[in-house]
Amino acid sequence: MTKPREATVTLENAAQHTVVTRDGRRLAVETSGAPDGPAVFLLHGTPGSRSGPRPRPVVLYRLGVHLICYDRPGYGDSDRHEGRRVADTAADVAAIADAFGIDRFALVGRSGGGPHALACAALLPDRVTRAAVLVGLAPAGAPDLDWYAGMTSENVDEHSLADADATELRDLLTVRAKDVQRDPMTLLEFLRPQLTEPDIRVVDDVAIRRLLTDMYAEALRHGPEGWIDDVLAVHRSWGFDLGAIRLPVRLWHGEQDRFSPVAHSRWLAARIPNAEVQVQPGAAHFGAVEILPQTLAWLSTPELAAAPRL
């Protein structure tokens, strides 16, 4: 693999990179796994960062996956892109792939990263091989979908503000971000009463809990802008046509998810050609962490390397 162009690599950790976009913004990128394996982008949730839960390097090597994670604009060490749409992710992902000399790649988006993975699938059809969405969201205001049905009241309150009062949304998320800056455990403590039993089981794992708190701390280290912009982007026009996605798409959802209810994946599956939906009983939102290795194996199957351009 060629050395990244327009990228600086820290001496402390060769897996940490900074990629500069055409409009001069910096994107913080982290790579792990097999450098010469099929490239897979992991797009984090909301809020989230490049340091989110993922398989250990030894597992990624066993899978043969070159995993690429980055902070969406406004999170962690990535510069903010104010007013961004979901569709804008495609240009950022393409810039990262270009910096690493990667022609074709797959993507998986987790939770709030799901819409952004679908944007890349729709807008980069000659580069994306497959896409997966784990516990994703449908567009806000989607026809024939009760968008808030089955959501926790706290999630409903947060997302409702995106349409009703963006200033109040900013105030709310600013307070939560400051709480996380003081103690990253506060976000998990806030979420805990909203968790179903399957999610409690996942979050109570010491290693996963540490990964989550580290991710939240990094995501909100400089403030809530990424979180605010993510929520607002979901409630704007996404900027692409789901029906234009022609490559294989896998949608996975835990049946007991109360943060992004399973009806969202079913709605998406009905509108994306070649999409398959897998609903897992006895799983919920954080089950996406456990299903990720299996998803990466599907995304990086050998035949993808020889897949013809669309």
Torsion of CA 231, 234, 239, 241, to 10 degrees: 160
Distances (CA, A) of 136 to 34, 64, 268, 287: 27, 26, 9, 12
Measured CA to CA, the distance from residue 100 to residue 113 in angstroms comes to: 21
Q: Kindly state the tokens that stand for 156.
A: 């409903």
Q: Name the strand (E) or helix (H) holding 277.
A: strand 275-280
pLDDT at residue 301 in the model:
85
Q: Which positions of the chain have pLDDT values less than 70?
A: 1-14, 302-310
Measured CA to CA, the distance from residue 218 to residue 193 in angstroms comes to: 24
pLDDT at residue 8 in the model:
32
pLDDT at residue 1 in the model:
38
pLDDT at residue 282 in the model:
97
Residue 101 has a CB neighbour count (10 Å cut-off) of: 11
Write b or e for each residue in 195-215: b if 16 or more Cβ atoms lie within 10 A of its Cβ, otherwise e: bbebbebbbeeeebeebbbeb
**Exposed (0-12), middle (13-18) or buried (19+): which is 160, by Cβ within 10 Å?**
middle
pLDDT at residue 307 in the model:
40
* Contact partners, residue 241, CB within 8 Å, separation at least 6: 122
pLDDT at residue 310 in the model:
34
**Strand-pair partners of 8:** 18
Whether residue 89 contacts residue 131, with contact meaning beta carbons closer than 8 Å, is answered with no
pLDDT at residue 11 in the model:
26
Nearest alpha-carbon partner for 142 in 310, 261, 285: 261
Nearest alpha-carbon partner for 292 in 280, 306, 302, 304: 280
Q: In the block, which residue shows the tokens 């569709």?
A: 87
3-state secondary structure of 63: helix
The bridge status of strand 128-134 relative to strand 105-110 is parallel
Give backbone dihedrals phi and psi of 16, rounded to 5 degrees, phi first. Answer: -100, 130
Q: Name the strand (E) or helix (H) holding 69.
A: strand 66-70
Q: Apex CA 202: angle with CA 65 and CA 48, to 5°?
A: 60
Q: What are the chain's domains?
A: 9-300 (3.40.50.1820)
Nearest alpha-carbon partner for 270 in 298, 240, 245: 245
